[in-house]
Amino acid sequence: KKRLSYEDKLEICDHSVAQKLLKIAVEKRSNLIVSADVTTTKELLDLVEKVGPHIVALKTHIDIISDFDADNTILPLKDLASKYNFLLMEDRKFADIGNTQELQFSMGVFKISNWADFVTAQVIAGYDSLDCFRNVGVVAILSMSSTGTLTDLQYREQAANIAVSHPNVFGGVSQNRIPDELLLFTPGVNLADSGDGKGQQYNTPEHVFNKLQTDFIIVGRGIYKSDDVEKAALNYKIAGWNAYEKSL
Ligand code: UP6
């Protein structure tokens, strides 16, 4: 079966964040999400200045920023997001009971609910645990890219059932195909390496569009570790877009 285009997905994915992402993808001719796994505010903002024009979203692990400060980290980040037209995806991978997740989402140092357009969450704690993300969109972790992951077929099916039926969820992170009404986000993408020696496993953009019919590729080290970050971002953007068009 042929994959759905972004235009097709705009018809069936009605969550407001899904709509925004799909429109940005079509406008920028990009399905690239950069994973900004750097550890200082300066590195983060420098990276975003370079990749911003090429991405649909920036994926953060905000808790690895050693000098995090709402005014110095988040305000300029939000300015860059509107300047370059991309969304902020906080890859928190929440994995607790609803009440705790609600606190982790809105309280503490990072106050994710104040700035993230969407977040990732495990579904391990069950359907109701996702109710607290009313004001953002959720991308559910349905399977993982690392060796030995416990996300077997039975888990993935049950996780997908939760994701499809929960109104706050509009997408899934997976290394497998997922139902069409969700947007598929695929990390573990790298053009040069097949792994990182720490369990990460990589595929090419070609593979994840052809075999998984993914919607968005997530690239970290393939871009931010590159000698020419801007050129690398452009390369992955083009590779991702060509792979998407070929898979149609
Ligand atoms: N990530 C994965 N695999 C998953 C889920 N999430 O790699 O199954 C995240 C990692 C990292 C990024 O937390 O931020 O995607 C991948 O980075 P890399 O391209 O440098 O390997």
> Which of 51, 65, 149, 200 maximizes ligand 1 atoms within 8 Å of its Cβ, making it the mutation to test the pocket?
200
Kindly give the distance from the C-alpha atom of residue 220 to the centroid of ligand 1, in angstroms, as a whole number: 7
Give 189-221 pLDDT, tens digit per residue.
Answer: 999 999 999 999 999 999 999 999 999 999 999
Summary mean pLDDT of the chain: 98
Is pLDDT above 70 for 142? Answer: yes
3-state secondary structure labels for all residues of the chain: CCCCCHHHHHHHCCCHHHHHHHHHHHHHCCCEEEEECCCCHHHHHHHHHHHHHHCCEEEECHHHCCCCCHHHHHHHHHHHHHHHCCEEEEEEEECCCHHHHHHHHHCCCCCHHHCCCEEEEECCCCHHHHHHHCCCEEEEECCCCCCCCCCCHHHHHHHHHHHHHCCCEEEEECCCCCCCCCEEEECCECCCCCECCCCCECECHHHHHHCCCCCEEEECHHHHCCCCHHHHHHHHHHHHHHHHHHHC
Is pLDDT above 80 for 48? Answer: yes
Provide the pLDDT for residue 2.
Answer: 82
ipTM: 1.00
Asked if 50 is an active-site residue, the reply is: no
Atom of ligand 1 nearest to the CA of 189: 19
**Model's pTM, two decimal places?**
0.99
Give 149-170 pLDDT, tens digit per residue.
Answer: 999 999 999 999 999 999 999 9
Kindly give the distance from the C-alpha atom of residue 59 to the centroid of ligand 1, in angstroms, as a whole number: 10
Kindly give the distance from the C-alpha atom of residue 200 to the centroid of ligand 1, in angstroms, as a whole number: 8
